[in-house]
Structure 1
Amino acid sequence: MRAIRVLSTIITLFIILGLAFFFLAWNSEIAPQKVADRQPFDPALVAHGASLAAVGNCIACHTVPGKEAFSGGLKLPTPFGTIYSTNITPDEETGIGLWSEAAFQRAMRHGVDRQGEHLYPAFPYDHFTRVTDEDNKALYAYLMTRTPVKATAPKNELPFPLDVRPILAGWKLLFFDDGAFAPDPQQSDEWNRGAYLAEGLGHCGACHTPRNSLGAEDKAKHFAGGEAEGWQAYAINADSRAPIPWDKDAIAFYLRHGYHELHGVSRGPMAEVTGNLAALPDADVEAIATYVASGMGEPSADRAAKGEELKKQFGSEADGIVTAAVDAKPSGDLASHPGAQIYMATCASCHEAGKKPPFGGMNFHLSTAVNAPNPQNIINVTLFGLPPADGQASAVMPAFGGALNDQQVADLLGYLRQRFADGKPAWADLPQQVGRTRSGDYFVAVRPSEGIERAPSNVGAKAAQ
């Protein structure tokens, strides 16, 4: 009898928990709204929405290179499987053309689509929840005035049970903190504006913060560095490995122009970000820089002194000429390093020519990639290069993946690390990591530059303007 009562209690608890989870996971459908039933949008509101879409870098994830803007279908590899971005044009059959503003607000605020399905956090609603209703209204107006495109994204490739969307309610219960941005009264208006943009639509932490085993950002390591599409998103807090410490002015210049002479050029996913930020007012770019710089803090006296010495060696004079342009040829043990001759044959002519970025190769003494704990970014650039941007002057670097084998690339990068990284330890297993990158056998497949490096002059963007 006692065993029956215990079993009955356990079954009752499971039923209660099941019902509780059902009500937590269930969301009602929001009725469709025909395009013809909407009131015309104020052009000023649409223009404001365009600026917000640039902050959110929406076009980068929702556009396949060579296809129409915002039509979705971009492959987004994750450690859990592959997700394909959705069509967010106002097409009524395959896009969001039947979404009311209320449906759009719910997706942004709570990560639930019009039909009531939970959205995967590859759509960073854990950041977008911070966006105000007013800004969501403007973003909605912008998207609903784009050209409708009939395009259905491929089905996500996720293993069971990750392909069962209701389980996302459990993920949200653990990791999702919804709610609009709350300004810090102890900070300036500019700082708060920057925090709102960076933590909300800008979703900087989605790439620059490491994630736990369930794919949620590790809030205790905010901006400590993460991964995005096979690239390393560098630490942008006090853990930054930049040889010359960043400051507000340098960050603002980099975000506005996509490069800084003492820090290099943006590449990979970050190139798309800086390209889109070109659409923002200067005040917003300055605000983001203020916020990010505050998190980096003041460098130590030793790091600041080393940075100043590097500026004297490799910075600009008043007339713009780079000083100390050419390093001496390697001597001693470095001269016999297997990567030394490869460097002299493939790299030195640009990287020791004394021409500043973006059109010259940055001296490797200034390279964050060479000083980074993980060599993934410099492997990517060495193998795949930096192709020219779409229709404008830009940084260009040839791809050496076809000229150098895995061991030669590893020898070259090992040489760069030993010569230019100020005594930092050698990278381990370089040939293996180069091989995985070249083959695509990397848990997040590297997406090389594809001519969309300087959005919004990227593929499809003219249709979006």
Structure 2
Amino acid sequence: MTSHFLKSRTLWISVAVLAVIGLFGAFLLMWRPAIDPIERPTTFDTAQLQRGARVVEAGDCAVCHTRPGGEYLAGGLPLVTPFGTLFSTNITPDKQTGIGQWSLPAFKRAMRQGIARDGHFLYPAFPYVHYRRMSEGDIADAYAYLMSGPAVHAPALQNQMNFPMNIRPLVSFWNLLFLHGEPLKPVAERSEAWNRGRYLVDGPGHCAGCHSPLNLIGAEKSSEYLQGGSVDGWNALALIGMGQRANPWSREQLVGYLRADVVDGHGTPAGPMRPVSLSLARLPASEAEAIAEYLLSLQSPHSVTETTPTTQPGPPADHSTGALLFTSACAGCHGPAAPMREIDGRPGLQNTSALQASSSRNFLKTVLEGVPAIPGSPGPVMPPFAASLDSDQLGALAAYLRQQARPDQPWADLSSTIEALRQETK
């Protein structure tokens, strides 16, 4: 009896010890110490500030941390995710609501580990998974540039995250699974431009964050690197095999597209890619040229073949309504003889990436939302047609233009995609 009691007590003590160790381990995993605040530095090296400005531009910091009509880098932009809505934060050097009390070590920790100065976990919508691959010098230069700017008092807006992702310490378990990788090192057998392009794509540019598919908990599928993703309701196209496609990209075309130009045969960036391309346009052209060299070197794992219809064609569809809508609403800018083709570089539509894509989503979103003007930035502007075209008209226009672009492959998803986009807008 006594022996059985002693064995039971020993077992329960062991379980209790393991539970305490487990709880202590979980506490250590989910807790990070604060880093002491500092007085904002006021003296900066001019050359470092110039380098830092380029790093911040390459990292698309303003794209997420500046809301439309808001102060530069003061945050407040809503970022809609499958787990709820986040609002970007203030990264100006305001000491109450921004990063004015952050030391360089605190800034580095945020960039490499996703931990704020006060110790709370940052959501991985902030792409620290990629920023941790940046060089020490680039992170220090970006810090100097951000600390040298004007301080804007802009308190953080309340995030609207769904349970359980509204519990920030749980991000620690996400980090345990997916926060890997070290600063990128050059590949000796590759050119300097190729290595620079790889660094920009995988480091500050964090291209895979949009152009790779995500798993159920929001991490990039590393096995499908740059094979296409989704962001803000747009399809982010695959960035591999760009030179192998039926409508292949040349180096000149890709450089122009990356710099927000209208490119014959592919169009111009729209949606979330528009501000990214405008940021690249403010950098030396050599940066876009390096990105193009790297991306065009990436071969698709799938063989490229011309897709042929798998069913016997039915009677010819009646596209007269779509043709009439194009003539009345679109031909003034996009028709073959349109003066705007010469004056403002408006593209013909047949070979644009949106009309060549297997899904109609990007074309429909471009028509519905247009290409808005960005104050102080060059480039074409297109009005939105969401209010002037009903769903039937939009479908007729899209079917007509797809027939012009890919007569052998009509879009089968038009009605369902239009309905989905109308619901998303609501």
Alpha-carbon distance between aligned partners in 1 of 2:396 and 2:42, rounded to the nearest angstrom: 63
Q: 1:338-364, CA deviations, whole angstroms, 9 ceiling, x for partnerless residues?
A: 534323332344333256589344333
Match runs of 1:250-261 below 5 Å? 250-261=253-264
CA separation of 1:339/1:193 partners in 2, compared to 1, >3 Å: closer, same or farther? Answer: same
**Structure 2 length as normaliser, TM-score?**
0.88
1:132 corresponding residue in structure 2: 135
Alignment partner, residue 419 of structure 2: 435
**Residues 1:191 and 2:194 aligned together:** yes
2:324 aligned residue: 341
* 1:161-180 equivalences in 2 (<5 Å): 161-180=164-183
- 1:28 aligned to which of 25, 33, 53: 33
Deviations 1:224-278 (A, max 9, x none): 1112222221111127896521132221222234331221111111111111112
The SS at the match of 1:366 is coil
Counterpart CA distance in 2 for 1:381 and 1:388 is 13
Instruction: Give the alignment of 1:383-394 within 5 angstroms.
Output: 383-391=368-376, 393-394=378-379
Alpha-carbon separation, structure 2, partners of 1:341 and 1:390: 33
**Is structure 2 residue 335 aligned with structure 1 residue 352?**
yes
| SS of residue paired to 1:364 | coil
2:188 and 2:332 map into 1 onto residues whose CA distance is 52
Identify the residue that residue 218 of structure 1 maps to in structure 2: 221
Q: What is residue 74 of structure 1 aligned with on the other side? A: 77
**CA–CA distance in 2 between the matches of 1:299 and 1:363?**
29
1:286, CA displacement in angstroms?
1.5
Residues 113 and 335 (structure 1 numbering): CA distance in 2 closer, same or farther, change over 3 Å? same
**Per-residue deviation, 1:39:** 5.5
Measured in 1, the distance between the counterparts of 2:332 and 2:222 equals 43
SS at match of 1:227: strand
Displacement of 1:104: 0.4
2:357 to 372, 375, 382: 372
- Where does residue 295 of structure 1 map in the other structure? 298
Q: Distance in 2 between matches of 1:274 and 1:387?
A: 14
Per-residue CA distance 1:89-114 (angstroms, 9 max, x = gap): 00000000000011001111111110
Q: 1:242 to 1:88 in 2, by over 3 A?
A: farther
Whole-Å separation in 2 of the counterparts to 1:209 and 1:301? 19
- Give the whole-Å Cα distance in 2 for the aligned partners of 1:389 and 1:233: 21
Number of residue pairs the alignment of both structures matches = 411
- Contact 1:224–1:239 under 8 Å retained in 2: no
Instruction: Give the aligned residue type for 1:433.
Output: T
Closer, same or farther: CA 438–361 of 1 in aligned 2, 3 Å: farther
Give the deviation of 1:383 after TM superposition: 1.1
1:193-212 map, 5 Å? 193-212=196-215
Structure with more contact order per residue of length (Cα contacts < 8 Å, sep ≥ 6): 1
SS, match of residue 197 in structure 1:
helix
Q: Report how far residue 143 of structure 1 moved.
A: 0.3
- Please name the residue that 1:450 is paired with: none
Match of 1:19 in 2: 24
The amino acid that maps onto 2:22 is L
How many angstroms apart in 1 are the aligned matches of 2:67 and 2:42?
Answer: 31
Cα 1:358/1:375, change in 2 over 3 Å: farther
Q: Return the offset for 1:438.
A: 3.2
Q: Which runs of 5+ in 2 are unaligned?
A: 307-314
Question: Any unmatched runs of 5+ in structure 1?
Answer: 304-331, 443-465
1:382/1:400 contact within 8 Å kept? yes
Return closer, same or farther for 1:162/1:65 CA change in 2, 3 Å cut-off.
same
Which amino acid in structure 1 is aligned with residue 369 of structure 2? F
Output the CA distance in 1 between the equivalents of 2:49 and 2:56: 10
Of residues 22, 40, 44, the one that matches 1:41 is: 44
Contact 1:209–1:225 (Cα < 8 Å) also in 2:
yes
What amino acid maps onto 2:73 in structure 1? F
**Range with bigger deviation, 280-289 or 194-203:** 280-289
Cα 1:153–1:9 shift into 2, 3 Å: same
Q: Is the 8 A contact 1:241 1:371 kept in 2?
A: no
Q: Distance in 1 between matches of 2:269 and 2:99?
A: 32
Match for residue 309 of structure 2? none
Once the two structures are TM-superposed, the CA of residue 10 in structure 1 deviates from its matched residue by 4.9
CA RMSD of aligned residues (A): 2.6
Cα drift, residue 28 of structure 1: 1.2
What is the correspondence of 1:280-319 to structure 2 with a 5 Å cutoff?
Answer: 280-296=283-299
Partners of 1:40 and 1:251 in 2: CA distance: 40
Check 1:301–1:32 CA distance in 2 against 1; reply closer, same or farther (3 A cut).
closer
Contact residue 260 and residue 379 of structure 2 kept, 8 A: no
**Residue of 382, 388, 393 corresponding to 1:403:** 388
- Determine the structure 2 residue equivalent to 1:310: none
| Residue identity in the other structure for 2:56 | A
Q: Tell whether the 8 Å contact from 1:387 to 1:397 is kept in structure 2 after alignment.
A: yes
The structural deviation recorded for 1:393 is: 4.8
TM-aligned CA deviation for residue 298 of structure 1: 11
Q: Secondary structure at the match of 1:82?
A: strand
Q: Which range is displaced more, 373-382 or 14-23? A: 14-23
- Equivalence for 1:414: 399
Instruction: Please state how far the C-alpha of 1:53 moved relative to its aligned partner.
Output: 0.7
Look up the match of 1:315.
none
What is the TM-score normalised by the length of structure 1? 0.81
**Aligned-residue offset at 1:392:** 5.5
Deviations 1:278-321 (A, max 9, x none): 22222222111111111146997866xxxxxxxxxxxxxxxxxx
1:151 to 149, 154, 163: 154
